[in-house]
Amino acid sequence: NQSQDTVVIYVQEYKPRYGFQPKSVMYKYRFQCPDSSVYDLAYYKLQLDSLESFPWNLVDNVVGNHGIGDHRLSHVTKFWHTRLVLMPASRVY
């Protein structure tokens, strides 16, 4: 009987109730180059990407496979690493 061999899969899709409205933050910091005796002022604009357009499945595969094989880190997963030294400073520059 074909009705006994039929498998039905139900899929439920979740969507955000409100549209994504990115809020950018201007990050101000000071850094010191190795050959400099002073700290230079720098700025960086931090802004979130839309979570709906982020490739979550790709990131899940990279993490699950420990970044080996076909699932390596790439620019699409937006990974980065750096070394920072954070020093407390006055709010007035």
Residue 55: partners with Cβ closer than 8 Å, 6 or more residues away: 76, 77
Q: What is the pLDDT of residue 68?
A: 73
* Distances in whole angstroms, Cα of residue 11 to Cα of each of 8, 14, 18, 36, 53: 10, 10, 22, 59, 20
Helix (H, G, I), strand (E, B) or coil at 76: helix
C-alpha span between 40 and 32 (Å, rounded): 6
Task: Give per-residue pLDDT as tens, 44-75.
Answer: 998 877 777 777 777 777 777 776 777 666 66
Mean pLDDT of 27-52: 86
At residue 72, the pLDDT reads 67
